[in-house]
Chains A and B, each alone.
Chain A
């Protein structure tokens, strides 16, 4: 028993699901459900179909390179059974899974970060430009300018510690 990956959407295929197609050149295509199978028959390229993992990885939406992936390799040579190794492996799998999950979440959060800044910039601009809709320019001039405060970039103290460390070393 082995969990395979769907050729089209890269999702896991559990036993008893999906279809396998063997081509004349002996290449095996596994599909998790008929949706993927039908898309394949239509000769669609998964790298162009938005909802597949292949697309997401190609366009940088999901994490591609990570050390956690190296721990999971398909081994062709069977190893002799060792209970301790098996125990450790089972524990390790859980940890690795968590780490991978967290890292993937980080990746996505990182992707979303610049959006907030952009939104703020646009709001500021809008405020400047369209203030005339609610306040007449005369009124504004008479008022004190206290709308916007210039942004301050504050670097975290981490850098200094790194420098310190380097100095120490």
Chain B
């Protein structure tokens, strides 16, 4: 197991190093699918330049990273390449770890890693060399999942706070992490039990406490609260309509002014809205809940990039046992692959050739998100169905002994 894994990692490092050095990196680091206004490396450099000029980076509307990020890069800007090269490994290691969670599947763990690399090749590859801080955010979330799975409540809480601080949305991962720890400590989810409340408060305290500490720290670093509207206000109110692979940009470019606030609320609530019903439905399966939450975030967030898609796709090998229950995986993978190919084509036609218009690119984002929704709900369906089969047997029979069909009712 160890030898092929090491070999694979070495190969992967080589590929990435070569790609980083190639001219492809420059080409890809400005693509709208890969970088968003939130995490473009160019904007980080701009923020650093503003800092050097003595202008607050948050006084303009170019820089939207958090203060900790800018001070991190302030000292490591020369080594940024290494940071970007290393951070995606957390995601890889995560998927490897997830695959090996199930002891029975340890033998095929490395195969999964391979299949991971292959499965989301177009997305992942672009993401890897994209030079966007999305990789770092993903690394934080991957570390958070790692710590959660290893059972360290303290580290998990801190990393979750860090992820929330980076981009607000990982807030919804609080519920699955809590459920996981409760399950791990054999505490039943019962609102009348004091042990439940005791642990919940403990974990919430770690989380909120570290969030307050991090925010306070950035206030002292920066000396003002300017970053709150510039980072979180920017995420919530969607003022920048630069095209990306998400649903927001064209919708709000074409929105009637007096409905804007209403629809912004509707779209943003959408991300957080599924947490409670999903937590109730999947309270026995917190790891799958994490996957569902991350997928929903990456579909419905305001500035999604391929990096976000790559994060939840890294989980897919862990659910390889669900393949036989997926209903339309062929269709979905075709749609996603076709979209990945069509994104750059239609972008070129619209922006450079001028022979297409914005509707072309919009149509492909629509299709891409439709494909993602289909993929996630298909996995959800397959997971639920597998659970059903686990309790009722794989081959169901009707009363009269003929083969039965399973339906949702």
Q: Do A and B bind?
A: no
Chain A residues at the B interface, C-beta cutoff of 8 Å: none
Chain B residues at the A interface, C-beta cutoff of 8 Å: none
